Structure 1
Amino acid sequence: MPGRRTIPPERTVPRARIAVLISGTGSNMAALLYASRLSDAPFEIVLVASNDPSAPGLALAAAEGIATFALAHKGLPRAEHEAQMEAAILAADADYIALAGYMRVITAETVSHWSGRMLNIHPSLLPKYTGLDTHARAIAAGDSHGGVSVHLVTEELDAGEVLGQIAVAIQPGDTADTLARRVLFAEHQLYPRVLADYVSRGNNPEHLLARVRELALALPETHERSSHGSPGFRVGSEKSGKFFAHFADQHHGVEHIGLLVKTGSMDELENLVETQPQAYYKPAYYGASGWVGLILNRPGVDWNHIGEWLERSWRAVAPPRLTKLMNAADDF
């Protein structure tokens, strides 16, 4: 199975499409916009939308050639206003939403629809000081630092997973306004970096391996062992265990970051590759033995499905005493 590893091709990864929602000057939107103009930026801004047609950030975006959309929320039911905002976002074919000073609470329905794809920036070191008046509250509490957090949006206000933070020292005599001005500098540094890292994670081998590792090692009596220089996962003892999965980062010149697992037959392998080439490929060397490659560096990977494949492959090589226990648990 081992062979000489060829130099992999350069990854040609499409940039993530971002819709930014603002309510005012849009300084964080501007930070994202200008960061997106860097040659190695993994995202582009495709829409700037606002609930205030007079928001200064709209004019800045338009001057930079970015599509804009504005709809005043006053006089409209929340659900109707939000539906029209989302329609504009969908029409722009956005992959993610970045809230940047958008002063509207998003409904649970929209949050659910964009779960894992909506980010927000908040001027505190979450979980401290959710909501408003964050700087005044930090000063009143005698904190040594205020700061800023970027987090995923969930139904609970400012409670989603924190993706990045910067602490900003509170100086003697600080007011909410003076602290806010310094925190804003940190915001403009943090948001573009965190957004870039987040939208790139699906093409980051370290991130993908970490997700595979978590799923593989959750199965009974498994351990990790390198195979031909790449991570592999075995079931059974360290001495006699058998591989049930291999992680492949562009091996043998293919463009994919893949997870190799065992199929039931060559017919199944060939059928998967032929009918779903966007999700499966036939790996060099391993493919001849009935292993299929699951493409991990693609949009919309279903990690529950990846977990099911890992378990199936594990069952194919695990000792009977382990599969009997697993089967009994399934029956129960």
Structure 2
Amino acid sequence: MAEPRPRARVGVLISGRGSNMAALLYASRAADCPYEIAIVIANDPDAPGLALAAAEGVPTFAQSHKGLKRAEFDAIVDVRLRAAEVSHVALAGYMRLLSEGFVNGWAGRMINIHPSLLPRYKGLDTHQRALDAGDTVAGCSVHLVTAELDDGPVLGQTRVAIVPGDTAATLAARTLIAEHQLYPRVLAELVTRERNPDYLLGLVRKHALALPASEETLSHGMPAFRIEGGKMFGYFTQDHHGDGEIALIVKTSGADEQAMLIDADPDLYYRPAYFGPSGWVAIRLDGGDIDWELVDERLRNSWRLVAPRKLADLPI
């Protein structure tokens, strides 16, 4: 029986009561939850959420941001997150604008929950703004954090009806229930997406189809990529012939290069049995923490090996 995959370690940043932190924490107690809360960090040492986290046995850290420049404070937080060996960061009522360097350091791995249906009502006072606009529906969104406030790609949303007589307070209270349901689900999807075949195929497709004169087709039951009307340069395999692997298969210069790659890193590369002694090599994609620059390089090399002369000299 295969060993269970280790759970992703998540750091949560709060500024106050931490109700969304609590929702993430209690969801993580389920046996099938793919993440655990590794640390809770607050920019206010008196934040009530710290006491809850500590009572639940979660390590905490707090330091006031007062008197520190934004980048200086974020550097302190970053050190604590990395010391806790977290792979993802969840903002849960964290009332701080983040420095660009901090955001870039966690790009694609830091999410936030916002009490509106983004892109509507970025920033504060979302519930009152929805009421003032005469909306019949409000809601909440979870999005990837980017340098611009509340502007990253939306990963999930829940709609919340606005009922007659609603105030900003009543709407906020009902939306908070939706937030507590939405946030754990989206976080779980985020930390497992690099093992999700559809997500991985989407990224492979993005890299492969960026190459000149490339197109996608189906070959041997697998999504495949070729020079238009010509030779294949990549295959995406998911448990093909029951091998249990999710991988990208690319062409090498021959058996010697194939063997060299496998010998150098057998955890990353393997010989796809059903391709015969052709020099094709498989790159495992389901191990997490994928080096997409390497994937892109191998795809480009494979493309060059099959490209006709009129294309082979194009800069890629």
Within a 5 Å distance, the mapping from 1:91-130 to structure 2 comes to 91-130=83-122
Post-superposition shift, 1:246?
1.3
Tell whether 2:281 aligns with 1:292: yes
Alignment deviations for residues 58-101 of structure 1 (CA, whole Å, 9 cap, x no partner): 12111221111111223334333322222111110000110000
Structure 2 residue matching 1:293: 3-state secondary structure: strand
TM-score by length of 2: 0.93
**Contact conserved, 2:193 with 2:199, CA < 8 A, in 1?**
yes
**Contact conserved, 1:252 with 1:284, CA < 8 A, in 2?**
no
Q: Which residue of 1 aligns with 2:315?
A: 330
Within a 5 Å distance, the mapping from 1:129-140 to structure 2 comes to 129-140=121-132
TM-score by length of 1: 0.89
Which runs of no fewer than 5 residues in structure 2 stay unpaired? none
**Contact conserved, 2:195 with 2:288, CA < 8 A, in 1?**
no
Per mean C-alpha deviation after superposition, the further-off stretch among 249-258 and 307-316 is 249-258
Q: Which residue of 2 aligns with 1:231?
A: 223
Whole-Å separation in 2 of the counterparts to 1:200 and 1:248 = 18
Alignment deviations for residues 80-124 of structure 1 (CA, whole Å, 9 cap, x no partner): 332222211111000011000011111111111111111111111
**Contact conserved, 2:194 with 2:289, CA < 8 A, in 1?**
no
AA in 2 matched with 1:73: H
Per mean C-alpha deviation after superposition, the further-off stretch among 210-219 and 46-55 is 210-219
Identity %: 57
Post-superposition shift, 1:273?
1.1
Alignment deviations for residues 223-266 of structure 1 (CA, whole Å, 9 cap, x no partner): 333333222223342xxx33221111233554531100000121
AA in 2 matched with 1:152: L
Q: Which residue of 2 aligns with 1:273?
A: 262
Root-mean-square deviation (Å): 2.0
Match of 1:54 among 21, 46, 49: 46
Q: Which residue of 1 aligns with 2:253?
A: 264
Which runs of no fewer than 5 residues in structure 1 stay unpaired? 1-8
Per mean C-alpha deviation after superposition, the further-off stretch among 222-231 and 194-203 is 222-231
Structure 1 residue matching 2:258: 3-state secondary structure: helix
Tell whether 2:300 aligns with 1:311: yes
Tell whether 2:31 aligns with 1:39: yes
Post-superposition shift, 1:150?
0.6
Whole-Å separation in 1 of the counterparts to 2:233 and 2:56 = 51
Structure 2 residue matching 1:131: 3-state secondary structure: coil
Whole-Å separation in 2 of the counterparts to 1:297 and 1:312 = 22
Whole-Å separation in 1 of the counterparts to 2:177 and 2:254 = 58
Count of aligned residue pairs for this structure pair: 316
AA in 1 matched with 2:240: H
Whole-Å separation in 2 of the counterparts to 1:272 and 1:255 = 21
Post-superposition shift, 1:296?
1.2
Match of 1:81 among 73, 82, 96: 73
Whole-Å separation in 1 of the counterparts to 2:26 and 2:276 = 45
